[in-house]
Amino acid sequence: MPHKTRALTTIGTRSIILKGQSISYTIKRSARARYVRLEMDRDTGLIVVVPESYDLAQLPSVIESKKRWILNNYPRFVTKPTINGSIPYLGKDFKLIKRQNGGNLSTAELEEHRLVITLGNGVALGDILELWYRRQAETVIRRRADSLSSQLRLRHKGLTIRGQRTRWGSCSHKGSLSINWKLIMTPEPVIDYVIIHELAHLKEMNHSQRFWKVVAEHCPDWREHRKWLKEHEYYLGDLCQQVERPN
């Protein structure tokens, strides 16, 4: 998710060794910060935001205490994802095979653990890949939404598959659901969590304890799935920038 604009002063760049790996990070001071905050940026990687009067000598121990989170997320920023080698589908990596057919017909076919895209003249890879993703989302996400709606006994007023930039899903006050097609890249249990989350809003249009109780009843591992989404949102966002088109 994008961060709100705030006054930050860049102090400099340092590095630290975590489990044998050299990690570079940028230090920034904030007049509004009360505690040390770690962020991952798509362009600069790890950023450490500190309060104005913070003693920088304490930073190594703070970073060391967060090494698990850093090492899990750092590679997604220093190594940008690409659609030229492999693509994610339902939480698994599929080898991407690109071919030219010299004609006007373009196709995309899933064969075991690879996606074979045949491009016609003047057709961009991103266009066909997004079309294939959206069609898969229409089938898979709609099927799961229908099944989960029956299980929860919560009937929505309609389901739209869209390409929201900042949301995985939403539920309107009229009871209509909107699910992001990019979820088709994530593991199926994560897809189910997002659908259950939105269906639960049909009963509780808030994020109260009652709401989370409904979610937990039908998705006991919701915290794990929500964590997965937060840890991968930047990676998927970078990947999707290569194939995104207007909604």
pTM here is 0.69
Q: Which of 70, 94, 111 is the last residue of a domain?
A: 70
Residues 121 and 55 in one domain: no
pLDDT confidence band for 170 (50 / 70 / 90): very high
Tell me: pLDDT of 169 over 50.
yes
Give per-residue pLDDT as tens, 193-246. Answer: 999 999 999 999 999 999 999 999 999 999 999 988 887 876 776 666 666 543
Instruction: Report if residue 104 sits inside a domain.
Output: yes
Q: What is the CATH number of the domain that holds 166?
A: 3.30.2010.10
Max mean pLDDT among 59-73, 107-121, 200-214 falls in: 200-214
Q: What is the pLDDT, as a whole number, of residue 4?
A: 45
Give the whole-angstrom CA distance, residue 203 versus residue 153.
10
Q: Are 225 and 189 in contact (CB under 8 A)?
A: yes
Same domain, 43 and 141: no
Q: Is residue 79 part of a domain?
A: no
End position of a domain, from candidates 21, 45, 70? 70
| Residue 167 DSSP label | -
Residue 19 pLDDT: 84
CB 119 within 8 A of CB 125: yes
Same domain, 149 and 189: yes
Higher pLDDT, 152 or 245: 152
Q: How far apart are CA 123 and CA 67, in angstroms?
A: 44
Is 166 found in the same domain as 104? yes
Mean pLDDT over the full length of the chain: 87
* Between 238 and 61, residue with greater pLDDT: 61
- Evaluate whether residue 116 is within a structural domain: yes
Characterize 203-235 residue by residue with b for buried, 16 or more Cβ atoms within 10 angstroms of its Cβ, and e for exposed. Answer: eeeeeeeebbebbeebbeebeebbebeeebebb
In a domain, 99, yes or no: yes
Would you say residue 76 lies in a domain? no
* Domain contains 105: yes
Q: Are residues 70 and 37 in contact, defined by beta-carbon separation less than 8 angstroms?
A: no
The residue segments making up the domain with residue 45 are: 8-70
Decide if 77 is inside a domain.
no
